Structure 1
Amino acid sequence: MSKRKASRKSGSPFRRLGKAALIVAALAIAALILIVILVVVLLKPAPPEPGGPPTAPPKSSAPERPDTQPADCSDVLALVVPGTWESSARDDPHDPTANKRSLMLKVSSQLQEKFPESTADVYTVPYMAKFRNPADIGDRQATYNTSRAQGKRRAEEKISKTSEHCPLTKYVLMGFSQGAVIVGDIASDIGNGRGPLPEQDQDLVLGVGLIADGRRQSGQQNDVGPSPKGVGAEVSLGGVGSLIPGTTMTGARSGGFGSLQERTYSICAKGDLICEAPTVTSPLKAIGQFANAATNPVHAMYATTRYWELDGDTATQWMTAWASGLIREQT
């Protein structure tokens, strides 16, 4: 064998040794990666067993309520929404004069006399308060849908602005007839986390008072005094939906009053077709009756004891005393 051939053969073991070292190094790296994966898996917390204690919910990102608020804020906002034909879009919310016989004026005026504005800002929502009778082709006033939407929007705007500027102010919400529908809808939204108050401020609502609520459901709130079974006209007619243009019967409130159920009080006199509606046979005829029910003697006389009274008090007297008690507790 020549010296050249011997030299080539003598180099082969070193090359083989280099390859072996690379293989060993690769295996070592792979083993290290596997160990890291196992450690991560073993240290990961196991999911809770079915039926076991729930994991802690994430901390709320809602801002903490401040300890103070501007000096021009009242302790309580007493928000009042009048019934059909008892308000106007241009009325003065602190001195309403659109209808001197407005039922809710008997409540709001008494609250203004009892409390200074620093204690209670008594605010009557100005809105068109109309209801076009679809059974009367000569009726050209604004539709129920348009009126109700304006009333709700304006009431929500007042609540939202108050909440932003006066984070410690509390609320008493009251309404009659169409106004009761509006107030009830807002209370339902608040109690179910749909606004206009932030969900963490639901506790600021001291109470909700409704007289002749068109979306009333017996037993779904505190029914005050002699309270008939049955439902309001909008619930009774809910099946017709938007069959009649401009007059949508919205049925029962989704979620009821939610967290505000125990703080909501409803007054309904037996025979009031707005809050105790008859069985529907003809939708068009029934909605015409609904429109005319606003002038029905039972519906129009809650300031008397003729059709509803509790311990000698009229509905407006009861609501004034109830609201006054809630406000007085804050002073």
Structure 2
Amino acid sequence: MLAAVALLAIIAIVLVVLWVQGLRGGAPQPPGTSTTPSTPSTRPEAQSADCPDVLTLVVPGTWESAADDDPDNPTANPRSLMLRVSSALKEQFPESRTEVYTVPYVAQFRNPTNLNDHQADYNDSRTQGYKRAAGKIISTHERCPLTRYVIMGFSQGAVISGDLASAIGNGRGGVLPAEDADLVLGVGLIADGRRQPGDQRDITPSPPGVGAEISLSGMGTLVPGITMTGPRTGGFGSVRDKVVSICAPGDLICDAPTVTNPLGAVNQLLGALNNPVHALYATPRYWSHDGATATQWMLGWSQNLIDAAPRPAHN
């Protein structure tokens, strides 16, 4: 028993080192009590002229944002993976068609094994990202009741985005009223740390592993500041069919080994040290679908959703 616990601890520490060396990770369980989504609410026939038809909410990954970044023109990290998608959408569509909003949050991951690392804890980072993303949806819906939503994220941002989708789809946490969950057009996740194969539309090639936060959820708060939150309660609920997930085989953030075989898990984690799959979703090296990289695929998917979205009347 003690040997198994020790191996699990090794897995957790190795995963932390991998994240801090260049991989990235997840987000927190949304608060609130689940309710069953119902039929769409009674909505007005028109909304304010300054309301976009679609809000495209983009959540960057670890080290790709900052708490004070400009959500309309983010510059915290010019190499942010999601900028390849959001910048193209801003060029293609007028603001009246879609507002492209990049959630500004601390986006850090402190290495607890390094006393000189003064970054924000992962728990604090993902909590801030979730609250800010949820707050943008809440404020938009209050002002623009006919606006639809496309939600996208990478890595830590993918878990935040997935948690938002889970909250909305299960009528939890007050992000959107349960009866308005149909306003969500789609949710796109790249390297989701809480990924469960089959819980959404998995875009091939799709590996069999689970997200690191699920693989290591039995460890709870073993590593200070890094809580492995496990699977999402209720999955994605009523928006399940609108969620797409991209995960490259061998990316330990979304394709993690299970702890039913601790020794095998340790070996796979150690083997990933020289295989930086997580950082290369903008290339076809580890993941591509019909010749498209992950960012190219996500761009085409989101473009189609925005093109086909309803065009509500304005007053």
TM-score by length of 1: 0.77
Counterpart selection for 2:202 from 223, 228, 233: 223
Shift of 1:232: 0.6
Shift of 1:296: 5.6
CA–CA distance in structure 2, aligned partners of residues 136 and 228 of structure 1 = 32
Counterpart selection for 2:102 from 118, 124, 144: 124
Q: Does 1:136 align with 2:114?
A: yes
| 1:11-49 deviation line (CA, Å, top 9, x unaligned) | xxxxxxxxxxxxxxxxxxxxxxxxxxxxxxxxxxxxxxx
> Quick one: structure 1 residues 130 and 185, their matched pair in 2 at CA, closer, same or farther if it must change by over 3 Å?
same
Tell me which amino acid in the other structure corresponds to 1:185.
D
Counterpart selection for 2:59 from 81, 88, 96: 81
Higher gyration radius (CA): 1
| Pairing of 1:197-208 with structure 2 (within 5 A) | 197-208=176-187
Tell me which amino acid in the other structure corresponds to 1:297.
P
When structure 1 is superposed on structure 2, of 133-142 and 111-120 the one drifting more is 133-142
Counterpart selection for 2:72 from 72, 75, 94: 94
Shift of 1:139: 1.8
| Pairing of 1:281-320 with structure 2 (within 5 A) | 297-320=276-299
Shift of 1:134: 2.0
Shift of 1:294: 11
Give the 3-state SS of the residue equivalent to 2:277 in structure 1. coil
Shift of 1:64: 1.8
CA–CA distance in structure 2, aligned partners of residues 98 and 316 of structure 1 = 19
Aligned to 1:40: none
CA–CA distance in structure 2, aligned partners of residues 237 and 303 of structure 1 = 27
Counterpart selection for 1:213 from 177, 189, 192: 192
Counterpart selection for 2:249 from 252, 270, 276: 270
What stretches of structure 1 of length at least 5 have no aligned partner? 1-59
Q: How many residues align?
A: 267
Aligned to 1:56: none
| 1:272-307 deviation line (CA, Å, top 9, x unaligned) | 010011244779x97xx69xx899621000000010
Shift of 1:98: 0.4
CA–CA distance in structure 2, aligned partners of residues 294 and 184 of structure 1 = 27
Shift of 1:244: 1.7
2:210 and 2:258 in contact (8 A); partners too: no
Shift of 1:315: 0.3
Q: Does 1:182 align with 2:160?
A: yes
> Quick one: structure 1 residues 277 and 61, their matched pair in 2 at CA, closer, same or farther if it must change by over 3 Å?
closer
> Quick one: structure 1 residues 116 and 222, their matched pair in 2 at CA, closer, same or farther if it must change by over 3 Å?
same
Tell me which amino acid in the other structure corresponds to 2:105.
Y
1:131 and 1:143 in contact (8 A); partners too: yes
2:134 and 2:164 in contact (8 A); partners too: yes
Answer 1 or 2: higher relative contact order, Cα 8 Å, separation at least 6: 2
Shift of 1:136: 2.5
CA–CA distance in structure 2, aligned partners of residues 62 and 223 of structure 1 = 27
2:40 and 2:180 in contact (8 A); partners too: no
Tell me which amino acid in the other structure corresponds to 1:260.
V
> Quick one: structure 1 residues 273 and 63, their matched pair in 2 at CA, closer, same or farther if it must change by over 3 Å?
closer
TM-score by length of 2: 0.81
Counterpart selection for 2:224 from 245, 249, 267: 245
CA–CA distance in structure 2, aligned partners of residues 321 and 257 of structure 1 = 23
> Quick one: structure 1 residues 294 and 138, their matched pair in 2 at CA, closer, same or farther if it must change by over 3 Å?
farther
Aligned to 1:323: 302
* Percent identity between the two aligned chains: 65
Shift of 1:61: 12
Extract structure 1 runs of 4+ deviating beyond 3 A: 60-63, 279-283, 293-296
CA–CA distance in structure 1, aligned partners of residues 200 and 39 of structure 2 = 31
Tell me which amino acid in the other structure corresponds to 1:80.
V
